[in-house]
Chains A and B, each alone.
Chain A
């Protein structure tokens, strides 16, 4: 399964936010999108699941232009976890079950019984069992994040899109979530694309990364190839030190700002 983004350009009020973005994502891999604030990471994500419609360019899922899918059909294939933390008056369980909405044909059907087993699996996997009856307003932001991840997984997508998945999560949950996502990506052979601010995490969990700057892809490839002190300084204006072990990058340490941004 292949997700191809070809020459996608997106403009907001005649200002180009994305220019000629081209890349591919394969099944079983986590693709990380890195870049400073305003580089266009979230915009790119939104173009992929068609919350925004690009001015030019085409996005192909397994060779089919996603334009041809209805919003609902696309939803059967793609699930999204956004950064925005909206508190709705639902319980945790109700929110998680909403992941099945694209698959429920009738507007009145509440539950498809066939999926109940794997829904339970996902709830247990994300350790949400004790929170099921709580309202979304009664849990922390990080817990809400886990709920939405569960919701996305329950959707059984072929493509999983995550916007800053580890924000608001504590150290333990950061690793915990990323490991679950990694395992899930590999075992279910889905395509996972996630944006990251934390370079160390990105490096650790992503199979491929693309580094964005001002709406274009500055660099793309394996994490070791892309996350170099030169690239990072060019894009972030921050000097870093890369700590390696056995040829693999263990951590990325920011040292100092080299140039103040305008």
Chain B
């Protein structure tokens, strides 16, 4: 009887999840249909399903530019949101973002280094950003490792130290870059420009298995949030799971930041927004974050492309600019919202 109420809540959570999946696909469609160039809807339809149009320009725009870009936004948004979820659960800290392990600082340094050394037209920036992101993570991991375990406090402090170091080094590269400074600053603002099917393939292949893997971690992460000892008593191999989780987070974030530059807000705030709707149970939170995060980034990218058309506003600006009011709205209404399914 007591559990009937709970079962009702579970049903509502499933409903929300299905709703989020619907919104996800809807936003992808919106993102493909709308852009700085106005293309009539039936043409869009025709191009998506028949891969043909009389108008060659429209065909290229939809097929070569918008579709890969929107899909990448969906994957990156999902990855960043899930990473935020995972890292907040692992570190038992609602203020943690996936960048807390030094990942985005490492990537920024990788990009800045290439530009400062004038190699950025020979070696692709994403490669360097990815490599240094992983290097930063490995350093953090190594520093925090104690007796084969990764205590939370050590992880946080090591991450801070590594982030600070690479941040300083990035500033140094910016100083050395001279007139190329602009290129670095622009990269740091984040953006989804210049992405094609090639990049989409890498992102999809890299991120999809990691997303699927994280779906399985929900139960164990829930237990870990009650404390390492309690988690162990509930059967969770805490050290193994913690290591696995941060490796998953690092790979996902490194891939994302390498191609899009550091995009803020999604990793930190989206998990909280989803919590207001669906509660803190990671078994729901993780899949919900995938679809919420994906939709969120697709829609903010849409705004970034169209608000000041034909100019493109760097996406990091839009995520915070529009994300924050939305977040505040949910925050204020959370008591009512959470009664429903959380």
Contacts and interface: CB of A to CB of B under 8 A. Distances in A.
A and B touch in the complex (CB under 8 A): yes
A82 B219 contact: no
A254 to B, nearest CB: 30
Contacts of A98: 222-223, 226, 234
B281 A94 contact: yes
Contacts of A120: 1-3
A164 B200 CA distance: 55
B226 A51 contact: no
Contacts of A88: 92, 225-226, 280
Contact of A101 (B94, B217, B219, B275): B219
Main SS of chain B's interface residues? helix
Given A71-B235, A120-B2, A80 B275 contact: no
Interface in A97-113: 97-99, 101-102, 104, 107-108, 110-111
B283 interface: yes
A222 interface: no
A95 interface: yes
Interface string B63-106: 00000000000000000000000000000101000000000000
B233 interface: yes
Contacts of B218: 107-108
B35 to A, nearest CB: 38
B199 interface: no
B322 interface: no
A186 to B, nearest CB: 22
Interface residues of B, number: 33
Given A75-B233, A80-B230, A86-B227, A132 B2 contact: yes
A90 interface: yes
A129 B226 CA distance: 21
Contacts of B2: 93, 119-120, 123, 129, 132
A189 interface: no
A208 B337 CA distance: 51
B275 A95 contact: no
Contacts of A91: 279
B326 interface: no
Given A51-B228, A86-B227, A75 B283 contact: no
B23 interface: no
A116 B10 CA distance: 15
B219 A107 contact: yes
B235 A102 contact: yes
A195 interface: no
Given A72-B235, A123-B2, A80 B229 contact: yes
12 contacts: A51-B229, A80-B229, A82-B227, A86-B226, A86-B227, A89-B94, A98-B222, A101-B219, A107-B219, A107-B220, A120-B1, A120-B2
